[in-house]
Amino acid sequence: MSPLGLVLYHGIDSGAELREYGRIAEDNGFDSLWVTERYFHEETFSLLGFLAAATQRLTLGVGVVNPYTRNPALLAMASATLDRISGGRFVLGLGRSEKAVIQDKMGIPYGDSRAALIKTVSQLRKLFAGERVTTQEGCNKLQAVKLATTPIQPQLPIYLAGIGTKGLRLVGEIADGVVLNAYVPPAYVRYAVAEIRAAAAAAGRDPNAIDIACMLVIRLTDDPAKMRATLKQRIVRLFEEPYVGEILLDKGGFDPSILPRLRAIIKSDGEKAAVPLITDAMVDAFYVVGSATQCQERIAEYRQAGVTTPLLLPRLEDYGAVATTLNNA
């Protein structure tokens, strides 16, 4: 059976609630359970440590943390510890995050994010292998650092997030997998997979060995038309981001020429005023919306586009219904 994962949304209030989410995922045959890092919400490694103790077989993933808020030595310590206490079930996802959060809100120098990712992956792999690491250049300097504990997995999987050509090609060059962003259409997935596979082949790696994970925002409903109307403003916020809107529309099969107008409307009149620019077809492409049968068909469409591990991302209040209805049991 093909892999299928679940993603926990934010707003978890207690250990009992978190334990129940783990039980639901295991009971319904899911292969993995992922948490995301949303700044100033729940701390991801704390959640994963609890889930490691509360579950038995689920792969536990984080999608994604970054090379700035946690020094590579701390990332290596956390990853090795989680892999140990989970019995070898941890997957580390890394991404660049955003300068607006890292530097502007936290005061951490951002610099060259691509170089920081490359360096961090190299440092982590050496630390996981039990090597002593010294690096003096750039950010995250290490001086003769060696882990006292190493992961159970001989090569703990490191996935990277990527959205543009350079980021996707970096996945193919150095990563074990990719975590494609939520809100990406199947047409974009085909583009992303082609870039990753081509870069892997050029680097002398097996293109098919790289896992293509993709978070799919799920809205299970018997009234898709009514649901669409509530989802358009989120897409407005997605398109407001520079470059993100351009590449998702272009590679997703839509006309990016709407973006200057959309952003001008947002600036002058707010997000709601730009909602009429978002079509039903966009909602259907960027979300997985509809009945159980319609959602299953959409998940299959993403698999056909190249996703090897779909990661279903429902709202917390819909988590149980999605898990029991779209399960992998």
- Structural domains in the chain (count): 2
User: Do residues 191 and 134 share a domain?
Assistant: yes
Q: What angle do CA 83, 42, 75 make, to 5 degrees?
A: 35
What pLDDT was estimated at residue 39? 87
What pLDDT was estimated at residue 139? 59
User: Do residues 99 and 182 share a domain?
Assistant: yes
Whether the pLDDT of residue 137 is over 70: the answer is no
Comparing CA positions, the residue from 243, 226, 236 lying closest to residue 276 is 236
Average pLDDT rounded to a whole number, residues 155-180: 97
**Band of pLDDT at residue 242, cut at 50, 70 and 90:** confident
User: Do residues 67 and 147 share a domain?
Assistant: yes
SS3 278: coil
CB of 51 closer than 8 Å to CB of 44: no
What are 140's two structure tokens? 């995250």
**pLDDT, tens digit, 9 for 90 and up, residues 266-296:** 999 999 999 999 999 999 999 999 999 999 9
Domain range for 280 is 222-290
Write the CATH number for 116. Answer: 3.20.20.30
User: Do residues 233 and 191 share a domain?
Assistant: no
pTM: 0.96
User: Do residues 302 and 170 share a domain?
Assistant: yes
Give me the percent of the chain exceeding a pLDDT of 70. 98
Residue 49, number of CB atoms within 10 A of its CB = 17
**pLDDT, tens digit, 9 for 90 and up, residues 160-169:** 999 999 999 9
User: Do residues 105 and 127 share a domain?
Assistant: yes
Instruction: Spell out the alpha helix ranges (H) of the chain.
Output: 15-27, 44-54, 72-86, 99-102, 113-128, 165-174, 186-202, 224-240, 244-251, 259-269, 271-274, 280-286, 292-305, 319-325
CB of 79 closer than 8 Å to CB of 156: yes
